[in-house]
Amino acid sequence: MSTEKELITAIIVTYNSSKFIEKCIESLVEFWPSGYYRKIIVVDNKSGDSTKKVVGKYRNKNIDLLVQHSNLGFSKAVNVGIHASLQSHYFLLINPDTVIRRNALLNMVQETKKRRAGIAGGKTVGFNGQKQGDHFRKINLSVGIFDFTNLRKLYPNDYWHKYFYYEDVPASKNTVDVDGVTGGFMLITGKTVNKIGYLDEKYFMYLEDMDYCLRAKKAGMQVIYVPSATARHFGGGSSNNRSRSNSDAWTRSRSYYFLKYFNIIENFLMQPLFYIDSIFIKLRSFSKS
């Protein structure tokens, strides 16, 4: 067994995240597993607040701040961070409005090694204690129609939403194989990056995590969910506090995902539906403004 001390690189993408980023960094520094080198990279997407000033206080703690000249979006910013630390054995993607709990990162790494997985995700809980959608099934047509659009309202019990997030089965306390995990708290091995490459930069935000997990599974790697790796998540700390239903990025991402992974007949159904739904979203947003 190798006794090499391995490097874990945490990548935090920020956009007007000054309210949250300090607690995120503090939790990483406090609960970083002993026996692993630590590197934290903050990729700032041209924040207009004091994010850069807050992060600057930690430069003596092996924290790099990479300031971008425009808002690159999540995928491209993550790739900037990965490229800056290609020698890393593990990459932890974590949102700036998230704080890890004791042993969270250690448990993710250990379970990844134990199962020889390529990607691992942890359990995220809101600060009100509410469980959040942190792992999911592969997207199918029904999920696209009845969870990704306003037709979701046709199912009062939210069946397809619960199906997508594995909420239709009892929550496991043990590590399990899943189809996808959230990019807001995701561990990627260096071997995975070497094998399948970077995140798809055509996703500005949303669904890039599902896409990356699907690519990993197609390449023969396991994706696992580690409920013993827990984190608290505020929500909205790097996306200007916009919900996905009100975001142009969301409407573009779902359309691109289906074009990439579904056949022409399925897209003949879904693309007009997404277009009509995007108009509905904009009208609703306009009426509230």
pLDDT reported for residue 286: 73
Looking at residue 61, what is its pLDDT?
A: 80
**Does the structure show a pLDDT above 70 at 289?**
no
Contact 190, 36 (CB under 8 A): no
243 within some domain: no
pLDDT value of residue 21: 96
224 within domain boundaries: yes
The fraction of the chain above a pLDDT of 90, given in percent, is 82
Taking CA 76 as the corner, what is the angle to CA 71 and CA 79, rounded to the nearest 5 degrees?
135
Taking 80 as the threshold, does the pLDDT of residue 265 lie above it?
A: yes
CATH number, domain containing residue 187 = 3.90.550.10
Residue 271: inside a domain, yes or no?
Answer: no
Check whether 10 has a pLDDT greater than 80.
yes
pLDDT at 268 over 90: yes
As a whole number of angstroms, the distance between CA 101 and CA 230 comes to 6
HSE-CB for 54 with a 13 A CA cutoff:
21
Q: pLDDT tens, 176-193?
A: 999 999 999 999 999 999
Return the closest-CA partner of residue 123 out of 181, 192, 163, 166: 181
Strand 90-94 relative to strand 6-14, pairing? parallel
Q: Look at residue 174 and tell me whether its pLDDT is greater than 80.
A: yes
> For residue range 96-106, what is the model confidence (pLDDT) as tens digits?
999 999 999 99
163 in a domain, yes or no? no
- Overall average pLDDT of the 72-81 stretch: 98
- Calpha distance 15→52 (Å, rounded): 10
Query: What are φ and ψ of residue 93, in 5° steps?
Result: -90, 125
Helix (H) / strand (E) containing 254: helix 248-261
Q: What is the mean pLDDT of residues 1-19?
A: 88
The structural domain count of the chain equals 1
In a domain, 114, yes or no: yes
In a domain, 162, yes or no: no
Q: Is the pLDDT of residue 281 over 90?
A: no
pLDDT at 155: 82
Measured on CA atoms in the order 114, 120, 123, 127, is the torsion positive or negative?
Answer: positive
Quote the DSSP letter at residue 35.
Answer: T
Q: Contact at 8 Å (CB) between 253 and 206?
A: yes
Nearest to 181 by CA among 205, 152, 157, 216: 216
Is position 83 within any domain? yes
Per residue in 189-242, pLDDT (tens digit) is 999 999 999 999 999 999 999 999 999 999 999 999 999 999 999 875 555 444
Q: What would the mean pLDDT of 260-275 be, rounded to a whole number?
A: 97
279 vs 149: CA distance, rounded Å: 11
Rounded to the nearest 10°, the torsion over CA 52, 104, 198, 275 is -80
Q: Give the pairing type, strands 36-44 and 185-189.
A: unpaired
| Structural domain contains residue 270 | no
Parent domain of 179: 6-138+169-238
> 153 or 233: whose pLDDT is higher?
233
Lowest mean pLDDT among 59-68, 78-87, 179-188: 59-68
In whole angstroms, give the CA distance from residue 9 to residue 199.
Answer: 16
pTM of the model: 0.93
Q: Please say whether the beta carbons of 125 and 230 come within 8 A.
A: yes
Q: What is the pLDDT of residue 242?
A: 45
The pLDDT mean for the chain works out to: 93
Q: How does pLDDT run across 15-35, given as a tens digit for each residue?
A: 999 999 999 999 999 999 999
